[in-house]
Amino acid sequence: MNNNRASCLCILGVLLSVPFFFGACGGESESNIRKKLDVILEDDCAAIVEGIPDSSILDSVYYETVEYKKYSKGKYIRKAVVDFYFLRGVAKKIRRKYRYHNEWGKWDRYHNRWISIPDKQAPADDVSPR
């Protein structure tokens, strides 16, 4: 009887640990998720300035992540809000929003908007915060 009870407890322990094991192993690391975002941000930054005359582009084009959130449940498990600064002499920036699709393992851009920059926050022509 004790042998059967021990076997049942052992099997129960294995069954309870299997979902935890696969959940821990199946998730993507935060580092990989961030690297994927960095690749998209660099590509977007290059695409934004493509076709704009050099005389209208800042000496140091840059972007700044202004918000980054993690979600434990749902279709999208990360959200990033990023501002792109690139125009010389124009107090405007582009704000883009991205979300990380958990099942597909990739970032998706879902929002793109021009925003006016107050004069005191406008980037200098030759200075970048990076």
- Domain with 44 in it: 28-121
| pLDDT number for residue 118 | 86
The 10s digit of each residue's pLDDT in 89-118 is 999 999 999 999 999 999 999 999 999 998
Across the range 67-84, mean pLDDT stands at: 96
Contacts with 39 (C-beta within 8 Å, 6 or more apart), sequence order: none
CATH assignment of the domain containing 78: 3.10.450
As for how many domains the chain has, the answer is 1
Note whether residue 63 is domain-resident.
yes
In a domain, 77, yes or no: yes
User: Distance (Å, rounded) from C-alpha 32 to C-alpha 38?
Assistant: 10
Residue 12, in any domain of the structure? no
* Phi-psi label, residue 43: left if phi above 0, alpha if psi -120 to 50, beta otherwise: alpha
pLDDT per residue over 41-53, tens digit each? 999 999 999 999 9
What are the tens digits of pLDDT across the range 21-36? 344 445 899 999 999 9
What CA–CA distance (Å, rounded) separates 50 from 44? 10
pLDDT mean over 66-76:
96
Whole-model pTM? 0.72
CA distances from 85 to 46, 58, 102, 126 (A): 12, 8, 29, 12
**The predicted structure's pLDDT at residue 127:** 46
Mean per-residue pLDDT for 58-63? Answer: 95
> How far apart (Å, rounded) are the C-alpha atoms in residues 119 and 63?
18
In a domain, 13, yes or no: no
Specify the pLDDT at position 20.
40
126 is a domain residue: no
Res. 119 pLDDT band, cuts 50 70 90? confident
β-pairing, 106-116 vs 92-101, is antiparallel
